[in-house]
Amino acid sequence: MNIIETKDLNLHYGEFQALKNINLDVSANEITALIGPSGCGKSTYLRTLNRMNDLVHGVKIDGSVRYRGEDIYAKDVDVTVLRKRIGMVFQKPNPFPMSIYDNVAYGPKLHQKMSRSAMNDLVEQSLRKAALWDEAKDRLKKSAMSLSGGQQQRLCIARALSVSPDVLLMDEPTSALDPASTAKIEELMGQLKQEYSVVIVTHNMQQAARISDRTAFFLTGDLVESGPTADVFSRPQDQRTENYITGRFG
């Protein structure tokens, strides 16, 4: 089942066209990897899915992005609800300057009033899903800044999960982390896809090959090729894809 469907999507930053006629679907309970060299539009595409590009001045978008059949760019769409359904994890861990507990509770507080005990449960649940509970349970009131980089990134994942999203967008979530932390997050993503649909932008092709079910290759704003990861990596249809994945450029 397709959870997100993109049709004829074009995006301009002023005069510059960053995305050209993109047609791409995201399937439920799968990991979709977006690969391509820097500036190819993969992060820009990711940010159209939860309308983070709305925050950038001078962005113009046409075409359609549908989430569970609904046009997310329709006039009556409430972006706060959209972003609750489609969560995001960023390249650099960006915990808020508050306690670990408050970081996870921040999103739920935004959307609904909850009792103290319900909030405690939700925080624990979210930290467990992000595989951080055991490391954090004794220091929930400590500043999130006291965590290591890898722990901070898992905290950001817990924070994104706390508002019970449906889709998780990850923008190069491991590029600022060491190999051990990267391995933890990759393993975590494997678990997360049971419950969520994940779209991940990555610079690391081995990572895309290891963890994703489907892969889409972007180049200078075009979607060159997309399909099951095994096919894209072993039998690329397009010469440019082959050149990129074999390391001839990028």
Partner 1 sequence: MTTLTPATGSALKGGLSAKRRAYSIGLRTAMYACVAIAVSVLVGIIGFVLYQGLGHITWELLSTQRSALRNTIGILPNILSTLYIVITTLLIAIPIGIGAAIYLCEYASNRKVVRLVEFTIEILAGIPSIIYGLVGFLFFVLNLGMRPSILVGSLTLSILVLPVIVRTTQEALRTVPHSYREGAFALGGTRWYIIRTIILPSSLDGIIGGTILAVGRMVGESAALLFTAGVGFTLVTNYFTALHTPGASLTVSLFLYITEHGNRDVGFAIAAILLIIVLTLNLLIKLVRRKFRKI
Tracing tokens 């300057």 back to the chain, one arrives at 97
Locate 122 and state its tokens: 């939700």
Q: Are 208 and 250 in contact (CB under 8 A)?
A: no
Residue 116 within binding range of partner 1, rule CB under 8 A: no
Which of 106, 166, 213, 222 touches partner 1 (CB under 8 A)? Answer: 106
Give min distance, CB of 235 to partner 1, in A: 36
Integer CA distances (angstroms), 7 to 4, 26, 143, 162, in order: 10, 12, 43, 30
Interaction of residue 146 with partner 1, rule CB under 8 A:
no
59 has which bridge partners?
Answer: 13
Cross-strand pairs, 35: 217
Among 42, 83, 154, 193, contact with partner 1 (rule: CB under 8 A): 83
**Burial environment of residue 20 by CB neighbours within 10 A (0 to 12, 13 to 18, 19 or more):** middle
DSSP-derived secondary structure letter, 146: G
Does the footprint of partner 1 cover residue 81 (CB under 8 A)?
Answer: yes
Q: Least distance to partner 1 from the beta carbon of 200, Å?
A: 15
Which CB atom, from 161 or from 223, has the smaller least distance to partner 1? Answer: 161
Judged on CB neighbours under 10 Å (0-12, 13-18, 19+), 154 is buried
- How many CA atoms are closer than 13 Å to the CA of 125, on its beta-carbon side? 13
Size of the site for partner 1 (CB under 8 A): 27
Q: Of 30 and 171, which CB lies nearer to partner 1 in the complex structure?
A: 171
Give 106 or 133: the residue with its C-beta nearer to partner 1.
106
Query: φ, ψ for residue 150 (rounded to 5)?
Result: -65, -40
3-class SS of residue 198: strand
Restricting to residues 29-58, name those near partner 1 by CB under 8 A.
50, 52, 55, 57
Tell me which residues in 151-190 interact with partner 1 (CB under 8 A).
156, 159-160, 163
Decide if residue 133 touches partner 1 (CB under 8 A).
Answer: no
Of 152 and 226, the one with the shorter C-beta distance to partner 1 is 152
CA dihedral 102, 104, 105, 106 (to 10 degrees): 80
111 binds partner 1 (CB under 8 A): yes
Q: Identity (one letter) of the amino acid at 69?
A: G
- 118 sits near partner 1 (criterion: CB under 8 A): no
Beta carbon of residue 70, minimum distance to partner 1 (angstroms, whole number)? 16
Tokens coding 137: 């349970």
- Closest to partner 1 by CB, 17 vs 143, is 143
Identify the CA nearest to 2 among candidates 225, 226, 236: 226
Residue (163 or 223) nearer to partner 1, CB: 163
Instruction: By CB under 8 A, tell whether 13 contacts partner 1.
Output: no
Binding site for partner 1 (CB under 8 A): 50, 52, 55, 57, 79-84, 87-88, 90, 92, 94-97, 106-107, 110-111, 143, 156, 159-160, 163
